[in-house]
Every structure is written in C-alpha cells, then in structure tokens.
Amino acid sequence: MNYYGQQILNTLWQQGCSFLGTEVALLGGAMTWVSNRNLVAAISNSGGFGVIACGAMTPELLETEILATKVLTSKPFGVNLITMHPNLEKLIEVCGKHKISHIVLAGGLPQASSITRIKDFGGKVIGFAPALVIARKLQKMGIDALIIEGSEAGGHIGPVSTSVLAQEILPVVKEIPIFVAGGIGRGEAIVTYLRMGAAGCQLGTRFVCAVESPAHPNFKKSFIRAQARDAVASVQLDPRLPVIPVRALSNAATVRFMKVQAEMIARYESGELPLKEAQLQIEHFWAGALRKAVIDGDVENGSLMAGQSVGMVTSEQTTSEIIQELVQQATDFIGGGLNEKKCTAA
C-alpha cells in the first residue's frame, strides 16, 4: 500500500467516513434479491457500508433481515426503502425500532413527513438526486446526504451520465455529503470523484460476484462473461405509459419486456386497466424477472440487471478482496500522481 497515497485518500473521503461511521467511504448499492444479510454484513465487516435492499419486503420480513444482519456484523449498516412502498411508514417504524443509523429513500422524491419521522428517531436520511434542482429541493427538505447516480448504473436509471451529474452538482452543493454512483468499478474513478468534492462512492455491480453475494452461480457467470456494451437500457414504447428505463444484460427477458409494455398499453387503451395499474404491472414484471435470474438462475428468461461497470467484473472474489483492491487502486493512482510531480520538480 502506498503510504502517502493512503494518507491523502483518508483525507479525501474523511467526510464520507465520518458520516457513515466507516473505515472507507464506500456504500454497497442496494440491489433487490442480492443485498441481503450476507452481502450487507460482509461489506460492513470489510470497512464499507452495507445497505439492505428492502424492495417489496413486508415490515415483518424487513425486521427479520435487520436482526439477521445484526447477528453477522456489529458495524454500521443501512436500509434502502422505496418511497412508493404501500407500507413505507411501517417500514420506517421497523428501522426506528432497531435503531438503523442511515436510511436511503429511493424510487422517487420522498415525502417531508418520511424524512421527519426518520430524523425524529435519530436516523440519517440519504436521498437520490438525478438533477441539481432535485438536490436543492432535498436539501431544503432536510436531507442529510445525497447519492447522485448516473445512467451507467444497473437497474432503474435516470437519463444523465454520472460524469455530467458530478460536474453539475458537486461544485455547487457543498453543505451536505454527496456520494457518487453509476459505472464505478475501479479505485481511480473513486479518487477522481473525491477530488471533485464527493464524500464517497456507491458501488453495486462490482459486489454482485462477491463470494458472500446470494446471487445464483449462473447469474454471477453472466456478469463475469459480460462486457460493458452488453448492459443496455430498456426503451419506453409510449410516453403515455412513462416507464423508468432499466439497465440489464441483453437476453430474452429484455425482448419480453417490450411485449409486456405493448400489452399494458393495449389494456390501458381498451379501458381494462387504469394508467397507474398498468405501470404497477410493469414493475411487477421486473421484480419477478429479477428474482427468476438472481435466485433461480434462469439467465435467459430472468432480468440480469447490471451497470456498465460489469465489464470490470472478471472473477468471483470475497467482499474484503474487492474493497482492498479498490483501495489499492486508489492509493496507487494518488501515489503515482505524487511521483510524477516529484519527477517534474526535479
């Protein structure tokens, strides 16, 4: 490990480490069916910050997952809650009951009441900002930190790339910690965003093939074989049915999704389904297809949600090895820059 590089890295992400209560300012992206007790605890035990993906869990299931995670780690970890979940308030109550220190609110702009409830029991609230105007709005609502996630990420994505979001938001929003996500697979990229003002980074795809990840061996093999260009975003067929694009490895499921959209549009036009129900059916498609791939190992008919950093996933490693590798790359990158400056000065 480069000693000077490590010192500078510690300084660069000190804000993020202090906010999370961790050794390294790296959050695990919350991935449904993947970010469970085993992977979350492994990330936290390795110095990072694991985040449970609540997804469509009931309050009872979330409570079980939190308790099981606490058995595996005494380090800090968080919970990702979807703002449109019908039992959001009860899920927040479960988090408060078990003193979850950080809650990530995803899937849309959170209600001010949700933020207040979390802060009332001492929790810190992290929100997603897909644009500067949203970042400012969340600040005014009392959010404690932000994640800016670019379109290179896996799963549901926004329209703007990580690098553009970082340039738009990091130089302007300095009052609260900001974590950058989307397409990050190496330590050099982490350092670049830290130098731009980020408090840390969030990585998801990089941890899918961790030994501790519950993903099916077939799912992991698909990631290891894939290249960046294989992770493509879904296409919206009709603006009347606003579908959030999903980035996944191209397979039969991505083709099937286009047919599902067409079916939902036809049922909406015939009056069989209201617009909201049609959208919900699409979300159910992705949830079911994702489980089919991650848990059952059906990599042809299931959804292989993956970010474009999948090309940097080349083998199955322990979570500890992944984090150590990222830190090594970061410190070597910083140290190399220092050596270049010394040579120039000489």
Which residue is it, tokens 């490895």?
A: 249
pLDDT of residue 339 exceeding 90: no
Q: Tell me what the mean pLDDT of segment 75-103 comes to.
A: 97
- Structure confidence at residue 286 (pLDDT): 84
Instruction: Characterize the bridge pairing of strands 178-181 and 304-305.
Output: unpaired
Q: Which of 227, 232, 258 is nearest to 246 (CA)?
A: 232
pLDDT of residue 128 exceeding 80: yes
pLDDT category of residue 1 using cuts at 50, 70 and 90: low
- Structure confidence at residue 67 (pLDDT): 98
- Structure confidence at residue 235 (pLDDT): 87
- Structure confidence at residue 181 (pLDDT): 98
- Structure confidence at residue 346 (pLDDT): 41
Q: Tell me what the mean pLDDT of segment 11-25 comes to.
A: 98
Q: State the CB neighbour count (10 A cutoff) for residue 163.
A: 17
pLDDT of residue 224 exceeding 90: yes
| Amino acid identity at 297 | G
Share of the chain above pLDDT 70, in %: 97
Tell me the two tokens of residue 241: 């049915």
pLDDT category of residue 334 using cuts at 50, 70 and 90: very high
Q: Which of 255, 226, 248, 231 is nearest to 294 (CA)?
A: 248
Q: How far apart are CA 46 and CA 48, in angstroms?
A: 6
User: Phi and psi dihedrals of 273, rounded to 5?
Assistant: -130, 135
Domain spans in the chain, listed from the N-terminal domain onward: 3-214+314-336, 227-305
Angle at 32 between CA 190 and CA 327, to 5 degrees: 20
Q: Tell me what the mean pLDDT of segment 167-175 comes to.
A: 97
- More confidently predicted of 252 and 337: 252
pLDDT of residue 248 exceeding 70: yes
pLDDT category of residue 82 using cuts at 50, 70 and 90: very high
Q: How far apart are CA 307 and CA 223, in angstroms?
A: 10
Pick the CATH number of 3-214+314-336 from 3.40.50.620, 3.30.420.40, 3.20.20.150, 3.20.20.70: 3.20.20.70
Q: How far apart are CA 14 and CA 11, in angstroms?
A: 5
- Which residues are CB-neighbours of 100 under 8 A, at least 6 positions away? 66, 77, 78, 79, 123
- More confidently predicted of 132 and 346: 132
Count of all residues that appear for the chain in the document: 346
- Structure confidence at residue 337 (pLDDT): 62
Contact by Cβ (8 Å): 306, 231: yes
Please report the DSSP string for 316-331 in residue order.
-B-HHHHHHHHHHHHH
pLDDT of residue 343 exceeding 80: no
- Structure confidence at residue 345 (pLDDT): 45
pLDDT digits (tens, 9 = 90+) for 205-219: 999 999 999 999 999
pLDDT of residue 110 exceeding 60: yes
Mean pLDDT taken over the chain: 94
pLDDT of residue 344 exceeding 70: no
